[in-house]
Amino acid sequence: MLILGIETSCDETAAAVVEEGKKILSNCVHSQIDIHRRYGGVVPEVAARSHIEVIGPILSAALEDAGISWRDIDLVAVTKGPGLIGSLLVGLSIGKAIAYACRVPLVGVNHLTAHWSSIFLVNDEIDFPFVSLVVSGGHTSLFLCRGIDEVKLLGHTLDDAAGEALDKAAKLLGLGYPGGEVIDRLAKQGNSQAYSFPRAIRGEVNFSFSGLKTALVNLVKKKGEIEESELPDLVASYLEAVVDVLCEKTIRAAKEAGIDKIVLSGGVAANGRLRERLKAEAEGVGIKVFIPPVSLCTDNAAMVAAAGYRLFLTGNTDGLDLNASSRPAI
């Protein structure tokens, strides 16, 4: 069975062909980072217009890379939300058109379900149930996953997402956009204990990162100017505060749910320090950690196909009346 995955929820236009929900035949991603960089963040209307221009060529590239034609597709899996509504509608509309024209089923996929489903593309061993932390520029959510369509939200951020906290810090410190990757690199040269930053709402599984960002703003104001030589220690300490709460709450959630497997996914799951610490700390208390390779952490369409395949197998398909939603239920 060949699944065509389509992803346009934010600023990546992506299409992929995945065989049996597991084998990636192609995985094409066009990032809009260069378009949005000058604004310091994603501009929704600009994002939607870019998706319209790029989706056709990206779909053609995905088919060509996979060495297949439209007639070979058996299922169309497309992100239905959460995300930017104008961007989502581009992918959803073309996904419906392809499903209709090729006379194949359509399945709408929750973007966060797609993120944790990326683990199925690389790991045969993982099975339900597990706790999953999806941590990206727009989301920081903890789920208890008992099946592809049996998902319970355990906790989420009450304000900024973890990736947003990193992106805002990078912007404030003049490190460019998006900031997560730069912070990852710079933090490796710094001392994570050099500065003390707050760890918000200890003792529960919801997250809050806006206080952390404010602490950095206040510190920068107080210091007046930050020397370049101070940056590694500063970002290492800031990143450590983010990683600390992500690890503590994820392990707490797994323990409380009595689950011994954790799946880490989303753009921030590319972070070296987070990958290393979550693995070490969870495995120290007997919880196994599964993390997709860095290339599958940021937005892509192979993860959408992986989730769509499993949804299809459990009897979940959608009609052409499927709508996009910026905040769908699972």
Q: Which residues bind ligand KG4 (CB under 6 A)?
A: 10, 136-138, 163, 166-167, 178-181, 184, 266-268, 270-271, 298-299
CB of 103: closest distance to ligand KG4 in angstroms?
Answer: 32
CB of 139 to Zn ion, least distance (A): 7
Nearer to ligand KG4, 91 or 180 (CB): 180
C-beta of 136 vs 237, nearer to Zn ion: 136
Distance of CA 318 to the CA centre of its chain: 23
137 binds, among ligand KG4, Zn ion, none (CB under 5 to 8 A by kind): ligand KG4
- Least CB distance from residue 304 to ligand KG4, whole Å? 12
Q: Give the number of residues written for the chain.
A: 330
Burial class (CB in 10 A: 0-12, 13-18, 19+), 118: buried
Q: Which is nearer to Zn ion, 183 or 186 (CB)?
A: 183
Pick one of ligand KG4, Zn ion, none as the site partner of residue 232 (Cβ within 5 to 8 A by kind): none
| Binding residue for Zn ion, selected from 13, 50, 113, 136, defined by CB under 5 A | 136
Both tokens of 244, joined, read: 């600390």
User: d(Cα 60, Cα 189) in Å, to the nearest integer?
Assistant: 42
CB 16, min distance to Zn ion, A: 14
- Biggest alpha carbon–alpha carbon distance for the chain: 63
Closer CB to ligand KG4, 192 or 312, in the complex: 192
Q: 263 is in the binding site of which of Zn ion, ligand KG4, none (Cβ under 5 to 8 A by kind)?
A: none
26, 100, 138 from 162: Cα distances, Å: 30, 38, 8
Question: Smallest gap, in angstroms, from Cβ of residue 309 to ligand KG4?
Answer: 20
* Nearer Cβ to ligand KG4 (270/304): 270
265 contacts Zn ion (rule: CB under 5 A): no
**Token pair 């236009």: residue:** 13
How many amino acids of this chain bind Zn ion (CB under 5 A)?
A: 2
CA atoms of 195 and 204, how far apart (whole Å):
24
Interior angle at CA 263, CA 256 and CA 246, nearest 5: 65
- Which residue intervals of the chain are DSSP H helices? 33-36, 44-66, 85-102, 111-117, 162-172, 180-187, 210-223, 231-257, 272-284, 302-313
Q: Does residue 164 bind Zn ion (CB under 5 A)?
A: no
Phi/psi of residue 33, nearest 5 degrees: -50, -45
- Using rule CB under 5 A, residue 299 touches Zn ion: yes
Give 167 or 233: the residue with its C-beta nearer to ligand KG4.
167
270 contact, one of ligand KG4, Zn ion, none, CB 5-8 Å limit per kind = ligand KG4
Beta strands 106-110 and 75-81, pairing class: parallel
Q: Could you list the residues that contact Zn ion (CB under 5 A)?
A: 136, 299
